[in-house]
């Protein structure tokens, strides 16, 4: 389908009761929003056709409000989407394992401490999540009971308690229905360092949220910045 040539990008949005959905092959498709109606007491599993992702350019954004999602292959271009926002009642571990984009905001089932430990350790090696800028995971109950376990297991470092940590925030790849232009701020004493380039990621457990923000600065840059702030 090519309505207006190559002069504009398309967003595709749909409300559906279908269990299997085919995203149209629109030229210059930027992103898609899919909201699944709940027509029974049990949430349905949505299946998106793998062929669309394998035969199309990587999407800029995806928004899903669904019951659950049939798994894709680990190398699917679905996981390469620049920005993913998912409200999902069941599942979600696959995103923490396979996501290759820049920003992920996940309102999903509760993650366990081992899920976060595996995710952070893989990021630290530099062998996964190379493009990641921001991750937020929200649950309906507090994550703070697992905070110490996760931070100890990943070898987190800490900014001196007498200093004020820098705040991580950056523009969202895709501005959602709430019109917020930026990621939620992360101000945390805890951080980890990527082995391949020394870049820092701030880690924050705050109530029902887990946030992970990757800086475009090394540990040395961050510490020098804190030193200047203290002198000022």
DSSP three-state, residue 149: helix
What tokens does 210 get?
């887990």
3-state secondary structure (DSSP) of residue 146: helix
Triad 16, 29, 94: Cα angle to 5°: 65
pLDDT in the model for residue 100: 96
Could you report the per-residue pLDDT of 77-97, keeping only the tens digit for each?
A: 999 999 999 987 666 788 889
Rounded to whole angstroms, the Cα distance separating 203 from 213 reads 7
pLDDT confidence bin for 104, thresholds 50/70/90: very high
Instruction: Return the biggest CA–CA distance within the chain.
Output: 61
* pLDDT higher than 80, residue 34: yes
Question: What digits encode the pLDDT tens for the residues 130-171?
Answer: 999 999 999 888 898 999 999 999 999 999 988 899 999 999
Enter the tokens of residue 211: 């946030």
Which is more confident, 57 or 68?
A: 57
Point out the least confidently predicted range of 123-127, 129-133, 174-178, 185-189.
174-178
pTM of the model: 0.89
The H or E element that residue 143 is part of is none
Q: In this predicted model, what pLDDT tens digit does every residue of 181-194 receive, in sequence order?
A: 999 999 999 999 99
The pLDDT assigned to 4 comes to 47
* pLDDT at site 140: 81
Other CB atoms within 10 A of residue 135 CB: 27
Average pLDDT, the chain: 88
Return the pLDDT at 1: 46
Predicted confidence band at 232 (pLDDT cuts at 50, 70, 90)?
Answer: very low
> How far is it, in rounded angstroms, from Cα 232 to Cα 219?
20
Q: What is the CA radius of gyration of the chain?
A: 19
Record the tokens describing residue 143, joined without a space.
């994550």
What DSSP letter does each residue of 147-205 carry, written as one string? Answer: HHHHHHHTT-EE--TTSPPPEE--B-SS--TT---BPPPEE-SEEEE-TTT-EEEEEEE
* Under 8 Å between Cβ of 131 and 102: yes
């Amino acid at each position: 389908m090519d309505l207006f040539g190559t002069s504009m990008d398309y967003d595709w949005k749909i409300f559906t009761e279908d269990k299997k959905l085919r995203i149209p092959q629109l030229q210059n498709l930027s992103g898609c929003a899919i909201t699944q109606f709940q027509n029974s007491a049990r949430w349905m599993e949505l299946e998106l056709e793998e062929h669309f992702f394998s035969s199309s350019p990587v999407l800029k954004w995806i928004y899903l409000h669904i019951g659950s999602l049939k798994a894709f292959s680990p190398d699917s271009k679905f996981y390469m989407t620049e920005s993913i926002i998912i409200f999902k009642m069941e599942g979600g571990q696959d995103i923490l394992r396979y996501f290759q984009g820049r920003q992920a905001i996940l309102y999903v089932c509760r993650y366990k401490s081992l899920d976060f430990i595996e995710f952070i350790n893989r990021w630290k090696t530099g062998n996964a999540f190379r493009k990641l800028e921001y991750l937020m995971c929200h649950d309906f109950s507090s994550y703070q009971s697992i905070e110490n376990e996760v931070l100890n297991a990943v070898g987190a470092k800490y900014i001196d308690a007498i200093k004020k940590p820098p705040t991580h925030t950056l523009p969202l790849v895709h501005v959602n229905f709430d019109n917020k232009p930026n990621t939620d701020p992360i101000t945390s004493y805890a951080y980890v360092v990527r082995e391949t380039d020394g870049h820092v990621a701030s880690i924050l457990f705050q109530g029902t949220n887990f946030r992970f923000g990757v800086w475009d600065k090394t540990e040395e840059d961050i510490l020098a910045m804190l030193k200047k702030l203290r002198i000022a």
